[in-house]
Amino acid sequence: MEAAILSGSIKIMLPKLFSLVEKSWNLSKDIMRDIKFLEKELGMIVRSIDMELNTPRHDHGAALLLLSMEDLRELAHGIEDCIDSLMYRASWKQQSSLLRRRVQSPKTLLTGLQFAQKLQRMKQMVVEAHDRRQRYPVPAQTSGAAPSPSSASDPRLVDADLVGVEEHRAKLLEQLAEAAEGRPMQLKVISIVGCWGLGKTALAADVYRTQAGGERFDKRAWVCAALKSPGEVLADMLREFGSDCQETLLLDTSNVSQLCVQVRNQLANKRYFIVIDDIQTQVQWKKIKPAFPDGNDGSSRVVVTTTIQSVASACSSENGYVHRMSRLDEKCSKRLFSEKACPKKYLHYDQPDTTAILNKCYGQPLALITMGEFLKSIGWPIGRTCEDACNNIRYHMENGETFGDMRRALMRSYASLDGHALKACLLYFAMFPSDHPMRKKSLLRRWSAEGIVETQASCDAMKLAAENFDELMDRNLIEPIGVSNNGNVKTCQTYGMMREFILQLSISQNFVTLFCDDKKEAGKYARRLSLHHKNAKDGDRLKNIDLSLVRSLTIFGDACKTVLNFSKYELLRVLDLEKCDDLKDDHIKGICNLLLLKYLSLGGSVTELPEDIAKLEHLEALDVRRTKVNILPVEVFLLPCLMHILGEFRISGKVYKKSVFLKKKTGNEVQKFLSEGKSNIETLAGFITDGSEGFLHLMGHMNRLRKVKIWCKPSATASSTDWSDLMRAIQQFIQDKKDENSDTARSLSLHFDECSGDFLDSIQGPSYLSSLKLHGNLTTLPQFVVSLRGLKELCLSNSKLTAGVLEALSSLKHLQYLKLIAHEIEDFSIEVHALPRLLRLCFELQHSTFPTIKQGAMRFLVTLQLLCKDINDLSVINIECFGHLEEVILHPQVSQETQKQWEKAAEDHPNGPKVLLFKSGDEAESSNDQLNPAFSRMGISEVCPPLNESASSIVVS
């Protein structure tokens, strides 16, 4: 797996070399020749690694690497250091000025001669590594059968440790039962999905034993699909049916169509029950599916288990059922752990505190069993404590015999990821403390800035990063912590033993250098440096690390002077100081000299940004939400690569007369820069305006702008406020541009609680927005809202929503998500055929004044959120009219009686929706869809559900 990460790193590095050749930067012929030599060498190395990765598992000798992994890594890092140092040198020279000429270049700046010498050293390393390989050849592995991916024992023959699965078993048996009257009479496919180690296979085996013992099914089969081709799965199925032995030995597993015919012949006119364990891809299922005849009596059943949500949905897309496994609650976790950890002679012994180990296992049966057996082997409960075991868990996971099954399960989850980018994205979570939920969008920006995802001509880095994030979520390798009302993930984290596995792997592969838990977890190379809490205070612990080579620095908590001396970090790409407590204004000047910086997030006591921030010409994301910065220098808008600006600030148009370097970069300079179409800003979330800023005239020149958040706050000194400039700026932003980007998602969030929203009536259509949030005093719905093309999300917040405003919503035929926030709403009815595409509806009310919803309205509704603590019965909304309803979310302070009434109504509903309690997240991305602060007195607070509900709980941020 290390080879995949290294191959990906080199692939990302190659474009840098191409760029050097193209730009040349007045390089000598000798240097150019050395660069071209390294280009060819790196290309050969990548192809060699890829051949190794694509070689069948049983024939490693066919494509042995010419160089060892250690040699390759050292070479790759050395080349990257040369490239980045040259880029830094070029950036420094390009920022020449009268002032800069009087300033001496940094002592660490790479000279042309030093660069040439380093390139020569890289060439020599290639030769030395090749010679070393020649002296110590690696013998080819003898060809043979690939190791079986299935477990050593048949899960149907093992008495599994089934604890706390009674509800799961009952639900599955209910789905396996005969089709009820009025239900479709056809084959039913039931998917069991969840992350590794939740007991999916054990539960399926238990249900299989229960069903296989009766006479209901004529044919039964249990097959494992992990790491097998569709042909191999079908062949195993035929063997399970008891076909002729000679015939099954000669099966051609490459002829999938013929095998499907043979299976269908075996199952024709018969009732059958088949379990396919650990299916991994939709393609695998698509090729297997034709083998199953759809019996007329509707009694045949197929059960699949998988760790991938999209695979589960694909398997059960027609007349099926997806059963999501949940973690064990605290009581069941403790019971299972104790059964495995405590010998019978100590059952009545006063057992030590198990909190640490239960938290580490996170309700996953495999982890609990493994840790229990391990502690039992070292003398628990009278031997070592759970805390001691937890402190060295990563060592035991890597080397302990007891951890073998868990280690293999984790490695398989990791190895199944396609390509280096997904693996690198997963390992990146090692940068963050276990108690720190990571904001999704910040994570995507960091991946993009570090070049972890490979950019393609047809897709930008942020989109590719988002696809990787969704893939990790789909595979249940990370879990959502904060989810917005519209279903988008806001914050996420790794969990339990998966986190420990990620830490162990990222450190062993030198992917992350980590200081945490009073110890340094560092590899030989420090490229990504993360310091947690008090570990950033001790400068002596960093003395052996060359900070000049660090590309990413993240600090949580206090920091020492050594860490915050930014003159040492010349090659930084990502700087995350959002949670750094010691950051002050005098540190920012040093940050402005990090000329290669792409991502900057600040916190602490920072109150202002200097005009020198204009030096950061590679900066892509600037996040000042955690700072006290309330004035943003207009020079920020001169940054050519800047795409995302996050905070709550006013725009300064101040002319810096004392600055020689920036003396011409005033508002006029910014206007010229923007009018020439040089701005790449996509996110401006957001700025405060009183309607008088000249900046409002510049918004229309930001052609790539996609997300805008504005707070309207009238000037305290002015007798009246003219919002005409703001109105024109909004008009330009939402205008229906007829170009290739006209359908690119655009969102607007407008807060006008302190003023009238009458100026919105002057905005005209046609116009385009995909998302709109209006927080303020509305008596009527502005006409432009009704005429918006492509509007999918709408949030309205007011003290009282009138019937006039609400009735106008019925004309929004493309709306998929609607959120209404108010103290109360006037009585009105949602008519038949209204909001035909609506999928999610949220009411956030202080008083229980819900509308009347007529049968046939919003008929495809999936999620209904009723966030009002005063609900006391079911009369508010009849959920029977929503045939596709999947979940009802209630205010956490509704009475238990009310909650039970809703659960009973959901149980009687044909679709069986879940009834969940609202849970707020406090680490969410600053969002246009957060709870309105005006309703804090409603008493909405964080509610932590039991562990067995956490997998399906909704966290609204």
Domain that holds residue 358: 330-407
Answer yes or no: do 225 and 311 share one domain.
yes
- Residue found by looking up tokens 């008929």 in the block: 859
Q: What is the Cα–Cα distance from 125 to 38, expressed in whole angstroms?
A: 11
Q: Which two tokens stand for residue 560?
A: 């020492």
Report the SS3 class of residue 689. Answer: strand
Q: What is the Cα–Cα distance from 773 to 929, expressed in whole angstroms?
A: 8
Q: What is the Cα–Cα distance from 114 to 128, expressed in whole angstroms?
A: 21
Answer yes or no: do 548 and 403 share one domain.
no
Answer yes or no: do 175 and 287 share one domain.
yes
270 is a domain residue: yes
The radius of gyration of the chain's CA atoms, rounded to the nearest angstrom, is 31
292 is a domain residue: yes
Number of domains, the chain? 5
Residue at which a domain ends, from 627, 650, 668: 627
Mean pLDDT of the chain: 80
223 is a domain residue: yes
Query: What confidence tens digit (pLDDT) does each residue in 365-399 have?
Result: 999 999 999 999 988 888 877 788 888 888 888 88
Q: What is the CATH number of the domain that holds 260?
A: 3.40.50.300
State phi, psi for 92 to the nearest 5 degrees: -65, -45
Answer yes or no: do 318 and 338 share one domain.
no
155 is a domain residue: no
Compute, in degrees rounded to 10, the torsion defined by CA atoms 708, 711, 714, 717. Answer: -100
Q: What is the Cα–Cα distance from 509 to 7, expressed in whole angstroms?
A: 13
Amino acid at the residue 449: A
Q: Which two tokens stand for residue 10?
A: 């080199």
Q: Which two tokens stand for residue 448?
A: 């993009």
**Nearest Cα to 795, choosing from 785, 807, 780?**
785
Q: What is the Cα–Cα distance from 775 to 777, expressed in whole angstroms?
A: 7
Answer yes or no: do 504 and 516 share one domain.
no
Question: Residue 946 has what pLDDT?
Answer: 32
**Does an H or E element contain 71, and which?**
helix 69-94
Query: What confidence tens digit (pLDDT) does each residue in 162-201 have?
Result: 888 888 888 899 888 866 555 556 789 999 999 989 999 9
Beta bridge partners of residue 330, listed in sequence order = none
Q: What is the Cα–Cα distance from 807 to 93, expressed in whole angstroms?
A: 62
Residue at which a domain ends, from 465, 480, 509: 509
Report the SS3 class of residue 817. Answer: strand
Q: What is the Cα–Cα distance from 715 to 421, expressed in whole angstroms?
A: 49
Confidence grade of residue 26 (pLDDT, cut at 50, 70, 90): low
- Residue found by looking up tokens 């024709």 in the block: 268
Question: Residue 397 has what pLDDT?
Answer: 87
Q: What is the Cα–Cα distance from 941 to 918, expressed in whole angstroms?
A: 9
State phi, psi for 934 to the nearest 5 degrees: -65, -15
Q: What is the Cα–Cα distance from 884 to 283, expressed in whole angstroms?
A: 27
Question: Residue 681 has what pLDDT?
Answer: 94
Question: Residue 467 has what pLDDT?
Answer: 93
The per-residue b/e assignment along 630-657, b for 16 or more CB within 10 angstroms, e otherwise, is: eebbbbbbbbeebbbbbbbbbbbeeebe
Q: What is the Cα–Cα distance from 481 to 165, expressed in whole angstroms?
A: 24
704 is a domain residue: no
340 is a domain residue: yes
Query: What confidence tens digit (pLDDT) does each residue in 460-469 have?
Result: 888 899 999 9
What would the mean pLDDT of 48-75 be, rounded to a whole number? 56
Query: In this structure, how many other beta carbons lie within 10 angstroms of the beta carbon of residue 799?
Result: 15
Whether pLDDT at 674 is above 80: yes
Q: Which two tokens stand for residue 133?
A: 């390989």
**Nearest Cα to 465, choosing from 443, 486, 488?**
443
Q: Global pTM? A: 0.87
What would the mean pLDDT of 497-518 be, rounded to a whole number? 86
Answer yes or no: do 366 and 387 share one domain.
yes
203 is a domain residue: yes
Query: In this structure, how many other beta carbons lie within 10 angstroms of the beta carbon of residue 518?
Result: 10
Of the listed ranges 124-133, 587-596, 753-762, 815-824, the least confidently predicted one is 124-133
Q: What percent of the chain has pLDDT over 90?
A: 36
883 is a domain residue: no
Whether pLDDT at 740 is above 50: no
What would the mean pLDDT of 224-239 be, rounded to a whole number? 93
What would the mean pLDDT of 137-160 be, rounded to a whole number? 52
Answer yes or no: do 533 and 557 share one domain.
yes
Answer yes or no: do 463 and 523 share one domain.
no
Answer yes or no: do 41 and 113 share one domain.
yes
Answer yes or no: do 187 and 80 share one domain.
no
Query: What confidence tens digit (pLDDT) does each residue in 344-363 have?
Result: 888 888 888 899 899 999 99
68 phi-psi bin (left φ>0, alpha ψ -120 to 50, beta other)? beta
Answer yes or no: do 269 and 357 share one domain.
no
Residue at which a domain ends, from 360, 389, 407: 407
CA dihedral sign, ordered 477, 482, 485, 488: negative
Q: What is the Cα–Cα distance from 356 to 7, expressed in whole angstroms?
A: 38
Answer yes or no: do 259 and 295 share one domain.
yes
Q: What is the CATH number of the domain that holds 451?
A: 1.10.10.10
